Amino acid sequence: MSDKIRIKGLFLRTIIGVNDDEREHKQDVRINLSLTVDTRPAARSDNIEDAVNYRTITKDVIDLVENSRFFLVERMAEEIAQLCLSDPRVEKVRVSIEKPAALRFARSVGVLIERTRADV
């Protein structure tokens, strides 16, 4: 299946990092999601009940990230992936997270992971 729902450039603020200052002040993170889903049922019916609701997933990701205090972006990415896969219609998810201010001479630093239903 190659159908995708993409959520690009979700900018959030959260506590993330291992250094003392990172544990005290929220930082910006940029999150991109790509959900592999079968869009055919929703396309046929034109009914939201048959669709993976990206608004609901986005709200859940915002709530998770903004209320978290992860040390590592790897852990944050894993938690986001598991959240997305909690909808049984999501077969695979790709999560990328960037910390724009993490390194002095770099535009950003981040991780990119892919998880499938088999990883749940």
Residues labelled as active-site residues: 99
**Beta-strand pair 27-37/69-70:** unpaired
Dig out the tokens for 64 from the structure: 């998770």
Task: Extract long-range pairs of 53-60: CB within 8 Å, 24+ residues apart.
Answer: 54/5, 54/7, 57/7, 57/33, 57/83, 57/84, 57/87, 58/7, 58/10
Picking from 60, 56, 63, 58, the residue whose alpha carbon sits closest to that of residue 14 is: 63
